[in-house]
Chains A and B, each alone.
Chain A
Amino acid sequence: MGGTNGKKLNLKLKVWRQKNSKDAGHFEEYDAKDISTDCSFLEMLDIVNNKLIVEGKDPIAFDHDCREGICGSCGMTINGNPHGADRGTTACQLHMRRFNDGETIVIEPFRAKAFPVLKDLTVDRSAFDKIIQSGGFVSVNTGSAPDANAQLVPKEKADLAFHAATCIGCGACVAACANSSAMLFTSAKISHLGLLPQGEPERDRRVLKMMETMEEAGFGNCSNTGACSLACPKDIKFENIANLNAEFLRASIRSRD
Chain B
Amino acid sequence: MSIKLDSKIPSGPLEEKWSKHKFDMKLVNPANKRKHTLIVVGTGLAGASASATLAELGYKVKTFCIHESPRRAHSIAAQGGINAAKNYQNDGDSVYRLFYDTIKGGDFRAREGNVYRLAEISPNIIDQCVAQGVPFAREYGGALANRSFGGSQVSRTFYARGQTGQQLLIGAYQAMMRQVGLGTVELHYRREMLDLVVVDGQARGIIVRNLTTGELESHSADAVILATGGYGNVFYFSTNAKMSNVTASWRAHKQGAAFGNPCFTQIHPTCIPYSGDHQSKLTLMSESLRNDGRCWVPKQKGDKRPPEQIPDEDRDYYLERVYPSFGNLAPRDVSSRQAKYRVDEGRGVGPSGVAVYLDFRDAINRVGKAGIEQRYDNLFDMYAKITGDDPYKVPMRIYPAVHYTMGGLWVDYNLMSTIPGLHVLGEANFSDHGANRLGASALMQGLADGYFVIPYTIGHYLAGTSIPKVDANHDAFKAAKAAAQARIDALFAVKGGKTVDDIHRQLGNIMWEKVGMARNKAGLQTAVGEIQKLREEFWQNVRVSGEANNLNPELEKAGRLADFLELGELMATDALERNESCGGHFREEFQTPDNEAQRDDENYCHVSAWEYTGDSSLKGKKSWQLHKESLTFERIKLATRSYK
Which residues in A have some Cβ–Cβ distance to B below 8 Å? 1-4, 6, 19-20, 35-40, 42-44, 46-47, 50, 52-54, 56-59, 61, 63-73, 89, 93, 95, 97, 118-119, 122, 124-126, 128-129, 132-134, 136-149, 151-155, 158-159, 161-162, 165-166, 168-169, 192-193, 196, 198-199
Which of B124, B127, B161 has the most chain A CB within a 10 Å cutoff? B127
Do B133 and A50 touch (CB < 8 A)? Answer: no
Least CB separation from B447: chain A residue:
A142
Q: How far is the CA of A6 from the CA of B351 in the complex (A)?
A: 10
Q: How far is the CA of A134 from the CA of B183 in the complex (A)?
A: 11
Q: How far is the CA of A179 from the CA of B130 in the complex (A)?
A: 36
Say which residue of A37, A59, A64, A65 sits within 8 Å of B545 (CB atoms).
Answer: A59
Say which residue of A43, A63, A69, A72 sits within 8 Å of B382 (CB atoms).
Answer: A69
Per-residue A-contact encoding for B387-398, CB less than 8 Å = 1, 0 else: 111100010010
Residues of A within 8 A of B388 (CB): 2-4, 37-38, 95, 97
Do A53 and B499 touch (CB < 8 A)? Answer: yes
Instruction: Kindly state whether residue B418 has any CB partner on chain A within 8 Å.
Output: no
Q: How far is the CA of A256 from the CA of B294 in the complex (A)?
A: 63
Do B389 and A19 touch (CB < 8 A)? Answer: no
Do B143 and A47 touch (CB < 8 A)? Answer: no
Q: How far is the CA of A125 from the CA of B502 in the complex (A)?
A: 31
Do A72 and B131 touch (CB < 8 A)? Answer: no
- B101-144 residues at the A interface, CB under 8 angstroms: 123-124, 126-133, 135-144
CB distance from A122 to the nearest CB of B (A): 6
Residues of B within 8 A of A140 (CB): 128, 131-132, 175
* Chain B residues touching A, range: 35 or more
Residues of A within 8 A of B144 (CB): 148-149
Instruction: Kindly state whether residue B177 has any CB partner on chain A within 8 Å.
Output: yes
Residues of B within 8 A of A192 (CB): 133, 135
CB distance from A48 to the nearest CB of B (A): 11
What 12 additional pairs, Cβ within 8 angstroms, besides A68-B283, A70-B163, A161-B133?
A6-B276, A20-B550, A38-B387, A46-B280, A54-B499, A58-B545, A58-B547, A59-B546, A65-B72, A133-B178, A147-B127, A165-B135
Least CB separation from B72: chain A residue:
A71
CB distance from A156 to the nearest CB of B (A): 9
Q: How far is the CA of A155 from the CA of B387 in the complex (A)?
A: 34
Do B543 and A54 touch (CB < 8 A)? Answer: yes
Do B135 and A196 touch (CB < 8 A)? Answer: yes
Q: How far is the CA of A111 from the CA of B212 in the complex (A)?
A: 19
Q: How far is the CA of A152 from the CA of B145 in the complex (A)?
A: 11
- B506-551 residues at the A interface, CB under 8 angstroms: 543, 545-547, 550-551
CB distance from A88 to the nearest CB of B (A): 9
Q: How far is the CA of A147 from the CA of B128 in the complex (A)?
A: 9
Per-residue A-contact encoding for B221-251, CB less than 8 Å = 1, 0 else: 0000000000000000000011100000000
Q: How far is the CA of A143 from the CA of B53 in the complex (A)?
A: 9
Instruction: Kindly state whether residue B279 has any CB partner on chain A within 8 Å.
Output: yes
Residues of A within 8 A of B350 (CB): 1
Instruction: Kindly state whether residue B181 has any CB partner on chain A within 8 Å.
Output: yes
Say which residue of B136, B212, B241, B501 sits within 8 Å of A46 (CB atoms).
Answer: B501
Do B545 and A56 touch (CB < 8 A)? Answer: yes
Residues of B within 8 A of A134 (CB): 181
Q: How far is the CA of A93 from the CA of B383 in the complex (A)?
A: 10
Residues of A within 8 A of B276 (CB): 1, 6, 36, 38
CB distance from A199 to the nearest CB of B (A): 5
CB distance from A174 to the nearest CB of B (A): 14
Say which residue of B52, B69, B351 sits within 8 Å of A142 (CB atoms).
Answer: B52
CB distance from A40 to the nearest CB of B (A): 8
Per-residue A-contact encoding for B191-207, CB less than 8 Å = 1, 0 else: 00000000000000000
Do A72 and B72 touch (CB < 8 A)? Answer: yes
Residues of B within 8 A of A132 (CB): 173-174, 177
- B65-81 residues at the A interface, CB under 8 angstroms: 67-72, 74, 76-77
Do A129 and B543 touch (CB < 8 A)? Answer: no
Say which residue of B77, B136, B390, B554 sits within 8 Å of A68 (CB atoms).
Answer: B77
User: Is chain A's binding surface mostly helix, strand, loop or mixed?
Assistant: loop
Residues of B within 8 A of A50 (CB): 499, 501-502
Q: How far is the CA of A140 from the CA of B171 in the complex (A)?
A: 11
Say which residue of A20, A89, A125 sits within 8 Å of B69 (CB atoms).
Answer: A125
Do A57 and B545 touch (CB < 8 A)? Answer: yes
Given contacts A52-B545, A53-B499, A119-B550, contact A42 B132 (CB under 8 A): no
Do B242 and A3 touch (CB < 8 A)? Answer: no
CB distance from B125 to the nearest CB of A (A): 9
Instruction: Kindly state whether residue B497 has any CB partner on chain A within 8 Å.
Output: yes
Do A158 and B283 touch (CB < 8 A)? Answer: no
Which residues in B have some Cβ–Cβ distance to A below 8 Å? 49, 52-53, 56, 67-72, 74, 76-77, 86, 88, 123-124, 126-133, 135-144, 160-161, 163, 166-167, 170, 173-175, 177-178, 180-181, 187, 189, 212, 241-243, 275-276, 278-281, 283-284, 350-352, 382, 385-390, 394, 397, 451-452, 455, 497, 499, 501-502, 543, 545-547, 550-554
Q: How far is the CA of A61 from the CA of B173 in the complex (A)?
A: 26
Q: How far is the CA of A38 from the CA of B283 in the complex (A)?
A: 14
The 7 A-B residue pairs with the shortest CB-CB distance, nearest first, are A152-B142, A3-B389, A145-B131, A2-B388, A137-B174, A133-B181, A162-B135
Q: How far is the CA of A22 from the CA of B185 in the complex (A)?
A: 29
Do B546 and A139 touch (CB < 8 A)? Answer: no
Least CB separation from A198: chain B residue:
B133
Residues of A within 8 A of B390 (CB): 3
Do A72 and B127 touch (CB < 8 A)? Answer: no
CB distance from A216 to the nearest CB of B (A): 13
Do B133 and A65 touch (CB < 8 A)? Answer: no
Do A61 and B551 touch (CB < 8 A)? Answer: yes
Which of B49, B76, B139, B275 has the most chain A CB within a 10 Å cutoff? B76
Residues of B within 8 A of A95 (CB): 385-386, 388
Q: How far is the CA of A137 from the CA of B52 in the complex (A)?
A: 12
Say which residue of A43, A89, A155, A196 sits within 8 Å of B278 (CB atoms).
Answer: A43
27 CB-based A-B contacts, threshold 8 Å = A2-B275, A2-B387, A6-B351, A38-B276, A42-B280, A53-B543, A53-B545, A59-B545, A59-B553, A65-B74, A65-B241, A73-B72, A97-B388, A129-B69, A133-B178, A133-B180, A137-B132, A137-B174, A138-B133, A142-B56, A145-B130, A148-B130, A148-B144, A152-B142, A154-B138, A162-B161, A165-B167
Do A3 and B178 touch (CB < 8 A)? Answer: no
CB distance from A97 to the nearest CB of B (A): 5
CB distance from B640 to the nearest CB of A (A): 37
CB distance from A128 to the nearest CB of B (A): 7
Do B76 and A66 touch (CB < 8 A)? Answer: yes
Do B166 and A166 touch (CB < 8 A)? Answer: yes
Residues of B within 8 A of A47 (CB): 278
Residues of B within 8 A of A158 (CB): 135-138, 142
Residues of A within 8 A of B352 (CB): 1
Least CB separation from A124: chain B residue:
B68
Q: How far is the CA of A26 from the CA of B382 in the complex (A)?
A: 35
Given contacts A3-B388, A129-B177, A137-B174, contact A54 B76 (CB under 8 A): no
Do B174 and A136 touch (CB < 8 A)? Answer: yes
Residues of A within 8 A of B53 (CB): 141-142
